[in-house]
């Protein structure tokens, strides 16, 4: 049987809205910083109001259509 490799989760850019500490590296991110997060990491921080998605220029062009 052939096993398929699953796609690696893609990191996306998020803007920090409220300072928070990374639990793995013990590094503090300040308001306005841009961080690259996995979807599972981002979901937790979005629910806590710590980050918001940053639209890239390609995403903005598609939205403006």
pLDDT digits (tens, 9 = 90+) for 26-61: 999 999 999 999 999 999 999 999 999 987 654 545
Summarize pLDDT for 4-19 with one digit per residue, the tens: 666 677 889 999 999 9
Domain edges within the chain: 12-53
Residue labelled with tokens 């850019």: 13
Residue labelled with tokens 């940053």: 54
C-alpha 16/C-alpha 28 separation (Å) is 11
**Per-residue confidence (pLDDT) for residue 49, from 0 to 100:** 94
Q: What is the pTM of this model?
A: 0.69
- Return the DSSP state at 48: T
Closest CA to 14 of 32, 36, 29, 30: 36
Predicted confidence (pLDDT) at residue 3 exceeds the cutoff of 70: no
């Amino acid at each position: 049987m052939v096993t398929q490799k699953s796609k690696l989760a893609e990191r996306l850019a998020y803007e920090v809205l409220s300072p928070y500490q990374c639990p793995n590296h013990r590094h503090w991110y300040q308001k306005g910083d841009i961080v690259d997060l996995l979807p599972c990491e981002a979901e937790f921080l979005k629910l806590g109001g710590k980050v918001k998605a940053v639209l890239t220029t390609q995403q903005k062009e598609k939205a403006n259509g």
